[in-house]
Amino acid sequence: MMRTNIPGLLLLFFVPYFVNANDNLPGFTKRNNPAIEVRVQQLLKKMTLEEKIGQMTQINIDVIGKGDNIYSSYLPFQFDEKMVELILGKYKVGSILNTAAVTAMTRADWERIIIHLQKKAIATTGIPLIYGVDEIHGATYTQDATLMPQSVNMGATFNRDLVYESAKVCAYETKASNVPWNFSPVLDLGRDPRWPRQWETYGEDAYLVGEMGKQMILGYQGNSKMIGKDQVAACLKHYLGYGVPYSGKDRTPAIISEQELREKHFAPFAESIRAGALTVMVNSGLINGYPVHANKKLITGWLKNGLNWDGVVVTDWADINNIWQRDKIVADQKEAILLAINAGIDMAMVPYDCSYCDLLLELVKEGKVSMQRIDDAVARILRLKLRLNLFDRPYWPASDYPDFGSAAFTGTSYAAAAESITLLKNSNGILPLRKNARILVTGPNANSMRVLNGGWSYSWQGNKVDSLMPQGVTILKAMQSKFGKEHISYEPGVTYNMEGKYWEENKPDIEAVVKAAASVDYIVLCIGENSYAETPGNLDDLHLSTNQQELARALASTGKPLILVLNEGRPRIISGIEPLATAIVQTYLPGSQGGLALADILSGEVNPSGKLPYTYPKHPNSLTTYDHKPSESVDRMPGVYDYDAVLSVQWAFGYGLSYTSFNYSNLVISKPVFGANDILRVSVDVMNTGSHAGKEAVLLFINDQVASLTPDVRRLRRFDKISLAPGEKKTVSFTIPARDLAFINQQNRPVIEKGDFTIQVGTLASTIKCKETLEFKP
């Protein structure tokens, strides 16, 4: 029996994101095209119910390929024509996803596969398929594609232009593979280092994620009514609150207040919708005990109605089935489909069978799902296909994309890697390393392209990168090239079991490394994680592995300067070995050019300019974010017992060193006293006072000193990145509408309250005052 008292179905559709009346119209309205709307209605009138349900269905490619079963296929991919007829002929499925055997294919294979599928689909219904793939840091499922740094690196650059350019490269090479729909960007907040998908995010801060998300949308889709030849449709994921599971494990429940959900988690999605994003993928988990895939309030209320958005909402992998099989909200698949479709799901990533089609057909005939809801979903899907020009150009020759894998694209990847790598420690200016020094390169991350790229790299888990990127430049190879092979020795000491779980390591040989260290001047120890993606990356202990810590201790005991190179998807705790290191460099997952970028930084050819896009934890029981509440970090209170709630972190959000020094001065604020509808203008002078040219990410924080709901200790409100020659000074200016300082109050409405705010830029701070309280219209 289906339950009827379901909180997710409340019809209180507040709009959680407020827009000033003077703002430009949201980006997606620029794509409104009357001719497309006429065509959509013409197609709907001609379609049968079965054809419409087919358009709402997405099937994995392995189902229609020859293989041992529907869950896998042989390579090179060959069609099982009986299954093609079943999926595209009988069920008239409108979308296929994924790569065969979750392994990167050649462009020739992609072209052959897409042409065959499109011809069959068009012959059956007259409507082209839309093919979707997860291409989160380049065309990750196409061999020889340019692999960019992962999103966590892009956040660390604090450079919008680099994010935009990397998205353009990814769109071009994805389109060169005959794929028009990219399941990217990830707009979840990486606020929990236990979570195995933190590296897929741009960091822990909502504003940073929102800004980078907008650049990804513009790079993927452009800014015109139609998606161009070199562009793809973006898919924002995972809507909503996916990145903060209570347990830290992937796809497990989250507990999030509505204020937090609106103010932080929803905001990046709203920004990217306003930038023109065409599709959204839904969170696989639960929020406050209810599956997001069944939550009409969040999908139809906040997203579709609240933002007046006409795009497509697609499920994540098999998540309608999870409503009943995993979450136990209803008793069977049919009831789960009823909940999801009526909540606002437009397309189901089924992904292995068509029972969904049969059951949805029954629900419509029974009157439980209205034709209005079906037509709305199908209209959104048809509109997307028309915006992508798939009716006129359902496939194309790879030769139309001669810049695939070009040196220019490689240069973009290198630039992003170089600006993301973050210098965390540099005692006595040990870095850059002196020329002609003898260097020992060691550790499990020293000689593998897999670890530099991480998951979603030529395969789901990233475990095939080394075989598919044989000419890749590892950290070891880059160091040999930069410093000369005769100056580099190598002994790994600890190695990963590349055939096992991501965390499995082989028996270490620490003694051999200590022996090799005897004849060198410096030790570069490359540590961190092997590649992983999603649930296989779950962990029980956030500490760096015991073997790697023991290796660091043994090398530190030699007395040689120890440089730790961190290469990890999430910040593993290293507080036990951090004091032993002379220098520490965080590379995150820097992509195919990460080894070269690191070597250039260690040699001094490149000055590091990355800053942490998250808070690096020091202890596993002291996990926090920079925008925590005041009560989370209190030592003593007058007249009260020792209130031991002091936070201790390894490094703060926004932290990162340089080989030069910067001085901040002359902080100017246009309105020391301001109204709720005013515009604040803030400027600051930044001078390079060192001897090296450098880049500096200028971060502007604001905190509300007193609020009716306890405020965050501070919030990032603006940032910019500048380049400065030695002795050069620049003025950096920011414009901030006062409404951006609003918070969501107990009535779940945005409000700015009368009182003091502190603006901080670099080492400078100033207090300003809001003269009024104003609750903004939702």
> Where does residue 766 fall: left (phi above 0), alpha (psi -120 to 50 degrees), or beta otherwise?
beta
List C-alpha distances in Å: 250 to 36, 443, 517, 540, 622.
Answer: 39, 28, 40, 12, 20
Please name the residue that has the structure tokens 């160091």.
479
CA atoms of 589 and 594, how far apart (whole Å): 8
Tokens (6 digits) for 771: 């003269």
Q: Closest Cα partner for 524 from 579, 561, 474, 478?
A: 561
Q: Which long-range contacts (CB under 8 A, 24 or more apart) does 573-579 make?
A: 573/542, 573/543, 573/544, 573/617, 573/618, 573/619, 573/620, 573/650, 574/543, 574/544, 574/549, 574/650, 575/618, 575/619, 575/650, 576/543, 576/549, 577/544, 577/549, 577/552, 577/553, 578/425, 578/650
Edge to edge, the sheet with strand 673-674 lists 673-674, 764-770, 755-761, 694-704, 715-724
Q: Closest Cα partner for 357 from 713, 90, 35, 701?
A: 90
Under 8 Å between Cβ of 240 and 292: yes
DSSP code at position 505? B
Q: In DSSP terms, which residues pair with 472 in a beta bridge?
A: none
List C-alpha distances in Å: 492 to 153, 459, 506, 562, 578.
Answer: 25, 25, 11, 15, 20
Evaluate the CA torsion angle 196, 209, 566, 598 in order and state its sign: positive
CA atoms of 417 and 154, how far apart (whole Å): 8
CA atoms of 41 and 777, how far apart (whole Å): 34
Tokens (6 digits) for 776: 């903004």
CA atoms of 605 and 40, how far apart (whole Å): 55
Tokens (6 digits) for 698: 């200028």
| Residue among 192, 316, 327, 712 flagged as catalytic | 316
Please name the residue that has the structure tokens 């979570």.
195
Residue 316 annotated in active site: yes
Burial 305-331 (b: 16+ CB within 10 A, else e): ebbebbbbbbbbbbbbbbbbeebebbe
Evaluate the CA torsion angle 600, 601, 607, 611 in order and state its sign: positive
CA atoms of 465 and 452, how far apart (whole Å): 9
Q: In DSSP terms, which residues pair with 528 in a beta bridge?
A: 567
- With vertex at residue 626, the alpha carbon angle to CA 623 and CA 632, rounded to the nearest 5 degrees, is 60
Q: In DSSP terms, which residues pair with 743 in a beta bridge?
A: 751
CA atoms of 664 and 181, how far apart (whole Å): 44
The packing angle between helices 333-343 and 355-365, to 10°, is 70
Under 8 Å between Cβ of 522 and 560: yes
Q: Closest Cα partner for 245 from 257, 259, 256?
A: 256
Strands 743-744 and 750-752: antiparallel
Please name the residue that has the structure tokens 């929102």.
210
HEC string for 188-201: CCCCCCCCCCHHHC
3-state secondary structure of 647: coil
DSSP result, 135-189: -BTBSTTBTTPPPPPPHHHHHHHT-HHHHHHHHHHHHHHHHTTT--EE---B---
Burial class (CB in 10 A: 0-12, 13-18, 19+), 144: middle
List C-alpha distances in Å: 197 to 202, 248, 536.
Answer: 11, 10, 10
Q: Which residues are catalytic?
A: 316
